[in-house]
Structure 1
Amino acid sequence: MDIDPRLIGRVQDVIKAREQRRPRNAAAQQRGIRLLTPQDSTPELWIYDEISWWGVCAADVAAQLNGHRGDLHVRINSPGGDVFEGFAIYNMLAQLDGTVTVTVEGLAASAASFIAMAGDEIRMCLASQMMIHDPWGVCVGAADDMRGMAGVLDSLAETLAAIYAERAGGDVATWRETMRGEQWYNPQEAVDAGLADEIVTPKRGGDNEPDEGQLAASRWDPSLFQFRYAGRPEAQQGEAPTPVDPGEANPADQPSTAADAGGEPSEGADQPASTDREPAAASAAAASAAGEQPETAPTSAVEPEPAPPNPWADAVAALLEPEPSTTDELLMSLQEKGLA
Structure 2
Amino acid sequence: MKKVLITGAAGFLGSHLCDRFLAEDYYVMGMDNFITGDQKNIQHLIGLENFEFIEHDVTKYIKIEGNLDCILHFASPASPIDYLKIPIQTLKVGSLGTHNLLGLAKAKNARILIASTSEVYGDPLVHPQTENYYGNVNTIGPRGVYDEAKRFQESITMAYHRFHGVETRIVRIFNTYGPRMRLNDGRVIPAFMGQALRGEDLTIFGDGMQTRSFCYVDDQVEGIYRLLLSDYSYPVNIGNPHEISIKDFAEEILGLTETTQKVIYKELPVDDPLQRQPDISLAKKLLNWEPKVDRKEGLNKTFEYFKTLSTEELYKSEHKDFKQHIKK
Q: Normalising to structure 2: TM-score of the pair?
A: 0.26
Structure with greater strand share of residues:
2
Rg (Cα) greater in structure = 1
